[in-house]
Amino acid sequence: MAKPKNTYYLTAHCPSTLGTMDVLTRYLCEQQCYVVEMQTFDDIESAHFFIRMEFRPPADHAFDVEQFRQGLAPRAAEFGMQWELTAASLRPNVVIMVSRLDHCLNDLLYRYRTGQLAIEIPAIISNHPDLQRLADWHHIPFYYLPVDDSNRALQETQVLQLINECQADLVVLARYMQMLSPELSTALTGKAINIHHSLLPGFKGELPYHQAYDKGVKLVGATAHYIDNHLDDGPIISQGVEVVDHSHYPEQLIAKGRDIECRTLARAVQAHIEGRVFLHQGKTVVFSS
């Protein structure tokens, strides 16, 4: 759900040092900004500090974002702090990539349409034409870019060009059933989220739920993560899981798994656009909403 227009996110991380929290809270107080939410984490193993704050500037005068940045920059620099300031009212551009399965796309479009996800979707990219009508119904440009081993490099060049033209802040692979090249994965580092069932790596390839049924699996779930050169192995943002039993046949496992995929992917996208996710040493720090 969209935040009030006068709300901002301030996120930062730096080496663990005495005074890291104080420098931010003191500065906000001096600027008469009211903190409505704050979460912190100090990673003992890497001696690294993370903080996320939501705040409201004073209501009686205009908030000068550039002046705020200039005032905070030298104080943050003393702690080697990397930080970002984002208006909560900002609706990031999210490009969605999808193949034939429509459940995750459908769910994201519903949340977009109802305002649960405060995003803009400038493009949907697919290697199949099947979901053109769904995109058209939402008045979202649909780009059909077929791919096989003979044209993969050219197709990925077109994909990246579209992403850049859309000024995408985030790319979501909503069951895009293609392996991305190392070059494209590197270009999208930290700004592309993938979703898949959590039966990996035990049940690979086709019909994973049938394989799981044959083995009597008692848990099914989903994993949403940033992509890396190994598409299904990137830093995890969100996971979901539910208990199943002998009474769940493959079709029921598939239905339950798809439902979990939708909810897990939506949580990951929400966390990313609200600045709740930090990438650190190949893992993530994720503050809850």
Cis bond leading into 15, ω under 30°? no
* Mean pLDDT, the chain, integer: 94
Same domain as 68, residue 25:
yes
Structural domain ending residue among the three candidates 69, 87, 105: 87
| Residue at which a domain ends, from 59, 87, 115 | 87
Q: What is the CATH number of the domain that holds 248?
A: 3.40.50.170
Cα distances from 63 to residues 7, 86, 107, 169, 252, in angstroms, run: 11, 13, 36, 24, 53
Do 71 and 111 fall into the same domain?
no
Express each pLDDT in 201-246 by its tens digit. 677 777 888 988 899 999 999 999 999 876 577 999 999 999 999 9
- Rounded CA gap, 130 and 112, in Å? 21
Which pTM does this prediction carry? Answer: 0.94
Is 153 found in the same domain as 15? no
Residues 62 and 176 in one domain: no
Q: Is 233 a catalytic residue?
A: no
Q: Are residues 100 and 147 in the same domain?
A: yes
How many structural domains compose the chain? 2
Asked whether residue 21 falls in the same domain as residue 77, the answer is yes
Residue labelled with tokens 């197709």:
155
Of the residues 58, 87, 116, which one is the last residue of a structural domain? Answer: 87
Range of the domain at 239: 94-286
Angle (CA) 258-123-83 rounded to 5° is 85
pLDDT digits (tens, 9 = 90+) for 241-269: 999 999 999 999 999 999 999 999 999 99
Distance of CA 30 to the CA centre of its chain: 33
Catalytic residue among 43, 102, 169, 232: 232
> What are the CA-CA distances from residue 284 to residues 104, 235, 271, 279, 281 (Å)?
23, 6, 11, 5, 8
**112 and 78 inside one domain:** no
Residue 198 has a pLDDT of 83
